[in-house]
Amino acid sequence: MFQFILRRVLPEGSNPSHPQVRRRCGLAAGGIGVALNLTLFLGKLCAGALTGAISVTADAFNNLSDAAGSVVTLAGFRLAGRRTPSTPSATGGRSIWRGWRCPC
């Protein structure tokens, strides 16, 4: 499955050490993580509501928090892929650490 996804995301003969290739892999991983965790959340939430099992409903919200973590991954790869400005920013590069410190 992993090889299938990589073939769909990356062009043939890509160099894994190239920054653009790593960025595409990270964005694909984050996007897939968001999609799968949201799907699991909806399925488990419906299953928990139908059966009345609180544990299944709680597990659904755990998947929702995992999806939030994947959103942070997506944001981190998008920020890391930005061009460096020619002048120093007022934040001093602190935006890199925002995803790391997120309590999600």
Question: pLDDT of 5-33, one tens digit each?
Answer: 777 777 777 777 788 888 888 888 888 88
Between these two residues, 96 and 85, which has the higher pLDDT value? 85
Task: Please tell me the pTM assigned to this model.
Answer: 0.70
90 vs 87: CA distance, rounded Å: 9
| Pure H helices in the chain | 2-9, 19-51, 54-80, 98-101
pLDDT digits (tens, 9 = 90+) for 40-71: 999 999 999 999 999 999 999 999 999 999 89
Q: Contact, 73 vs 29, CB < 8 A?
A: yes
- Could you give the count of Cα atoms lying within 13 Å of 30 in the half-sphere of its Cβ? 17
> Could you tell me the pLDDT band of residue 87, with boundaries at 50, 70 and 90?
low
Determine the Cα–Cα distance for residues 84 and 77; give it in Å rounded to an integer. Answer: 14
Is residue 102 predicted with pLDDT exceeding 60? no
- Please provide the average confidence, as pLDDT, over all residues in the chain: 81
CA dist 38 and 62 (Å) reads 10
Does 73 reside within a domain? yes
Cα pseudo-dihedral 81, 86, 90, 93, rounded to 10: 40
> Is residue 63, in this structure, part of any structural domain at all?
yes
User: Residue 19: its pLDDT value, please?
Assistant: 80
How many structural domains is the chain composed of?
A: 1
Domain, as residue range, for 77? 38-81
Is 69 among the domain residues? Answer: yes
